């Protein structure tokens, strides 16, 4: 799975979680860029991403992610394992 594929799948997950079909992700997208992305929705989002990609993030990964690009990197690394 390449970065572009992961970003496309993540876009759909974000649209589902935030119930907003207009969301267009880039690797530099942050919580500040999405109106409803608060700490509670972050938990829902992480769960949805884990389910979509059949993986688990560590607490260190979750707390360290600064943007969508970092999430893409983690998902891509896990896909190689």
Query: What CATH number does the domain containing 16 carry?
Result: 1.10.1200.10
User: Which candidate, 53, 54, 49, places its Cα nearest to that of 14?
Assistant: 49
Its pTM stands at 0.93
Quote the number of domains for the chain. 1
**In the chain, which residue ranges form alpha helices assigned H by DSSP?**
3-18, 39-53, 59-64, 68-80
The whole-number average pLDDT for the span 53-63 is 94
Per the structure, the complete domain to which residue 33 belongs is given by 3-80
Segment 1-22 mean pLDDT = 96
Inform me whether the pLDDT recorded for 81 exceeds 70: no
| Residues contacting 53, CB < 8 A, separation 6+ | 6, 9, 75, 78, 79
Give the span between the Cα atoms of 18 and 13, in whole angstroms.
Answer: 9
């Amino acid at each position: 799975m390449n970065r572009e594929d992961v970003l496309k799948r993540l876009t759909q997950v974000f649209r589902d979680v935030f119930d907003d079909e207009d969301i267009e992700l880039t690797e530099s997208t942050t919580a500040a860029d999405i109106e409803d992305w608060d700490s509670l929705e972050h938990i829902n989002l992480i769960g949805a991403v884990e389910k979509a990609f059949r993986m688990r993030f560590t607490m260190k990964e979750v707390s360290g992610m600064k943007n969508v690009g970092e999430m893409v990197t983690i998902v891509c690394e896990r896909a190689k394992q």
